[in-house]
Amino acid sequence: MSTAKVYVGMSGGVDSSLTAALLVEQGYDVTGVYMKNWTQDLPGMKCPWADDLADAKRVAVQLGIDFKVFDFQNEYKHKVVDYMIEEYKKGRTPNPDIMCNQEVKFKLFLDAAIEDGADMIATGHYAQVQDGVLKRAVDDNKDQTYFLYRITHKALEKTLFPLGGMKKPQVRIEAEKRNLFTAAKKESMGICFVGSVGIREFLGQYVNTNPGAIIDFQTKKEVGQHDGAIFFTLGQRHGLSVGGGLPYYVVGKDMDKNEVYVTRDLNDRELWREEVELSDLHWIGKQPADGQKLQVRMRHRAPLINTELHGKKLILMEPQRAIAAGQSAVLYDGEVVLGGGILT
C-alpha cells in the first residue's frame, strides 16, 4: 500500500479508468486529470472531447476521487500538430503519438501535476517501468513502448503504468467487475487525441494540395493522377486509384514536382532496406555500445528485428520493406526499451 499522491491521466476510456481504479485500491491518493488537448471540430467530423471528458468525470465520481482538467490546447497545437504538418510538407511520415507522449503527457502533464502537488503520474499505457527503466508490456499485441521511447529516465522515475502486467481482455473483465462506466466503451482510433479522423481529412484542413502525376518507377510513364503527394507514404498500396493488373506500391515521391512514384514489383530495391540512418537519437539511459546486437521495431506492432547499431546507422539482419522517413526506429535489448531515433 502507498499513500503517494498520483495524478492519473484519464481520457474517458476503459484503460485509464481501470488504471485509476487499481491505484485507488492500492491505497494511493488519486486525482483524475483530463488533458484538454484538442477541441476543434472538422467538417463532417465532431471532435469527441466533450463526451470523453464527461466519461472520465463519471468514472472519477464513481471512484470517489478528485478530478481536474488541464488545458494544453496551445502547447499541443504547437508541439504536436504543427510538427506533424511540417513533417508531412517535407514529404516525411511523422508519428504524432510519439511526439504527444514526449511533449505533452510525460513533460507538460508531469510538470503541471508535480507543481500542483502530485508525487507521481500514471497513465493507461501498456508498458512496464522499474526504477526508471522502460520495459515491454506483458501483452505483446497491446504493447505501447514503441510510442514511449522518447520519454526521459527522470520522467519514468515518477510514472506508473498499472496495466503493463495485464492483457487487454483481462482489463475489460476487471473493469466490468468494478462496474466502471467505461467498461464496454470502444477504443478510439486515429490521430492522438483528435479522435477517429483520417490523416488525409486532417491534413486537408491545413495544407493546400494540387493534383499531380503518379509515375511508374520502372517505365517512367504516367499511370494515374493523385490529389496531393503529401498524402502518400512509402509502401502504400491503397488509395492510389490506379486500376488494372497487379497492385501498385508507392516507392517514392518528389514534393517539389508533386509526383508520386510507384511500382508493381514487391522486390523493387526502392522498397527494401538492409541498413538505415537515424537522426535525433534519444536514449532513456546509457547509450548502447557501438556494434551491440539489439532488436529494433520499425513501426507499432511490427515484429522485432535483430540489428546492430553503428553510430547513427542500423544494420538490419533481415531486409525490411517500406521504411518511411520520419517514422521511428525503437531499439530494445530483450524486454528493455533503450531508446531510438527518427528514420532519415
Active site residues: 100, 192
Which residues on adjacent β-strands are paired with residue 341? 329
The helices-and-strands tally (H runs, E runs) of the chain is 9, 17
Residue 75's H or E segment, with its range, is helix 73-76
Q: Are 234 and 93 in contact (CB under 8 A)?
A: yes
Report d(CA 159, CA 148) in Å as an integer. Answer: 12
Report d(CA 132, CA 331) in Å as an integer. Answer: 17
Q: Which residues contact 319 (CB under 8 A, 6 or more apart)?
A: 272, 273, 274
Please report, for residues 234, 242, 251, 266, the alpha-carbon distance to residue 246 in angstroms, rounded to integers and kept in the order given.
Answer: 18, 10, 15, 10
Residue 169's H or E segment, with its range, is helix 168-177
Which residues on adjacent β-strands are paired with residue 45? 42
Q: Are 68 and 32 in contact (CB under 8 A)?
A: yes
